[in-house]
Amino acid sequence: MNLLKTLPLIGAVLGIALAFLITLGKGAHGNNKAAKFTLVTIVLLNVHNLLDAWYYYNQDAEWIGSGTSYLHYHLIGVLLLLYTYFLFKIAVNLKLWGTVIVLYTLIRWAVLIPYDGNEIEEMLRTNKVTANVLAFTIDYYVSLLLNIFLILLTHLKIKHLKFSVKLDKAEQVSYLWLKNLLIIASVVYLVILLNSIISMFNERQWMFFMQLESSILCFFCFAIALAAIRFPVFAVYGDFEDLSGETMRKYANSSLKNEESDELWGRITTVMEKEKAYLNPTFRLNDLAEKTGESLHHISQIINQRQEMSFSDFVNHYRVREAKSLLGSPRADEITILAIALEVGFNSKTAFYNSFKKITGQTPSTFKKEFKSISS
């Protein structure tokens, strides 16, 4: 039995099991249904790809959708980026990338749907390159490069991710696994790109390359999915709603009494409003827990219940309030918006703009202009 011919079927079965695991388990996604749905979509598209590969290598099998998985070959990179956007709330220009991917998808389908796949095998035997084969080859390389670019972009987006909770050693390992797998996936795509060029006119090597590619790529996607569902999202936002079901029930059942809750809320607001701890760009949930003498989970729970927001949003509300005060002061004409962002505790202009617009519905520049026009 040829192992490379059998691996796709084994991988497809594992993929279906993984999709059920992600769908039914709360895992690290908390209540983030958009992230969960996107991750399940990535896994199921790879299951389809594996089933297609298994049919291709064992053509005595019956498979109605043979070859159709190639129609979504270019979507892995953008889906990983979208998953990262939903999970970590990173800054991504969805309108731009959405337009690019939709247009490219329509162009691909217009070229590929009427395409006869037997022409590739004919080219391998005769070295005769037809217009259809040339279009297919160009499309293949463009799709590969697009996936490489978007996977690298995804890595860069989470490379300097700022966490609301300090990671312990186990959490650091989970985070590093996710980052490193994205880099490895990019390298694998590059190797596939080079190998495909070398093996283009060698039928035997081409078949081996196809078998190897389908197995490696899909197993990498499953590895990324496993790393993703193990990632502690609570560490990113400090959001009580993102805790695992068991942990959340434990703390919800042992909630503080009303008097204790009021007293703790008073300590939290003292740290935030009188000490202005939020001005420190590295201020985390652990620091607030240390200053109040309370557990991370209880503080997160109280913030969630009283303000209906995560710790990171809670801190950013204070920072934006401070920024609005500065933008409306005489100093606003003397310092840049970036300087204001850094002064109130943000670590980048992008993070400041995103939070300011999310909270006020305006950009800092628009707010400043409107404030000046009202004042004058």
Predicted local confidence at residue 344, as pLDDT: 92
pLDDT of residue 181: 80
In a domain, 227, yes or no: no
In a domain, 228, yes or no: no
**Last residue in a domain, options 196, 213, 230:** 213
Query: Rounded to whole angstroms, how far apart are CA atoms 329 and 333?
Result: 8
Residue 221 lies in a domain: no
Indicate if 80 and 147 belong to the same structural domain: yes
Domain boundary among 177, 196, 213: 213
Angle at which helices 169-199 and 203-229 cross, to 10°: 160
pLDDT in tens, 335-370: 888 899 999 999 888 888 888 988 988 888 888 888
Element (H, E) at 368: helix 364-375
Looking at the structure, do residues 105 and 246 belong to the same domain, yes or no?
Answer: no
Domain shared by 78 and 182, yes or no: yes
Please calculate the CA angle 89-92-93 and round it to the nearest 5 degrees.
140
Asked if 280 and 169 sit in the same domain, the reply is no
Q: Note whether 345 and 280 are within 8 A (CB).
A: yes
> Are 353 and 256 in the same domain?
yes
pLDDT of 16 reads 87
295 within domain boundaries:
yes
**Amino acid making up residue 220:** F
Among 20, 36, 17, residue whose Cα is nearest residue 242? 36
Tens of pLDDT along 221-239?
778 787 777 777 778 888 8
Distance CA 173, CA 283 (A): 22
Tokens of 216: 């490696």
From residue 111, alpha-carbon distances to 104, 252, 280 in Å are 11, 56, 54
E-assigned strand segments in the chain: none
Q: Pick from 168, 196, 213: which residue ends a domain?
A: 213
Whether the pLDDT of residue 199 is over 60: the answer is yes
Residue type, 288: L
Say if 220 falls within a structural domain. Answer: no
Residue of 163, 348, 346, 320 whose CA lies nearest to 237:
163
Q: How far apart are CA 368 and CA 233, in angstroms?
A: 35
Decide if pLDDT at 159 tops 90: no
Measure the CA–CA gap between 95 and 97, rounded to whole angstroms: 6
If asked whether residues 367 and 253 sit together in one domain, one would say yes
Q: What confidence tens digit (pLDDT) does each residue in 255-303 have?
A: 667 777 788 888 999 999 889 999 998 899 999 999 988 888 889 888 9
Please indicate, yes or no, whether residues 182 and 244 belong to a single structural domain of this protein. no
Query: What is the pLDDT of the chain when averaged over all its residues?
Result: 80
Residues 38 and 168 grouped into a single domain: yes
Count of Cβ atoms closer than 10 Å to residue 372 Cβ: 13
Q: What global pTM score does this model have? A: 0.79
Shared domain for 171 and 261, answered yes or no, is no
What is the share, in percent, of the chain residues with pLDDT greater than 70? 81
246 shares a domain with 191: no
pLDDT for residue 315 is more than 90? yes
The region of weakest confidence among 67-81, 176-190, 239-253 is 239-253
Which string of b and e fits 233-258 if b means at least 16 CB within 10 Å?
A: bbbbbbbbbbbeeeebeebeeeebee
The conformation of residue 335, written as its DSSP 8-state character, comes to S
For Cα atoms 158, 164, 165, give the angle at the middle one, nearest 5 degrees: 105
172 with 319, same domain: the answer is no
Residue 255 lies in domain: 240-375
Residue 279 within a domain: yes
What is the pLDDT, as a whole number, of residue 66? Answer: 65
Nearest to 287 by CA among 234, 238, 342, 247: 238
In a domain, 42, yes or no: yes
Domain count, the chain: 2
Find the CATH number of the domain harbouring 298: 1.10.10.60
> What does the pLDDT read at residue 158?
83
Q: How much is the average pLDDT of 204-212?
A: 66
What digits encode the pLDDT tens for the residues 34-57?
A: 888 998 898 899 888 888 888 877
Q: Is the Cβ–Cβ distance between 76 and 147 less than 8 Å?
A: yes
Do residues 209 and 270 share a domain? no
Tell me the C-alpha to C-alpha distance, in Å, between residue 122 and each of 58, 132, 198, 202, 285. Answer: 19, 12, 18, 12, 63
Asked whether residue 219 is domain-assigned, the answer is no
Distance CA 48, CA 40 (A): 12
Quick: pLDDT tens for 95-153.
Answer: 888 899 999 999 888 877 776 666 655 555 555 666 667 777 788 888 888 988 998 88
What was the pLDDT predicted at 175? 79
Can you read off the two tokens belonging to residue 62?
């019956």
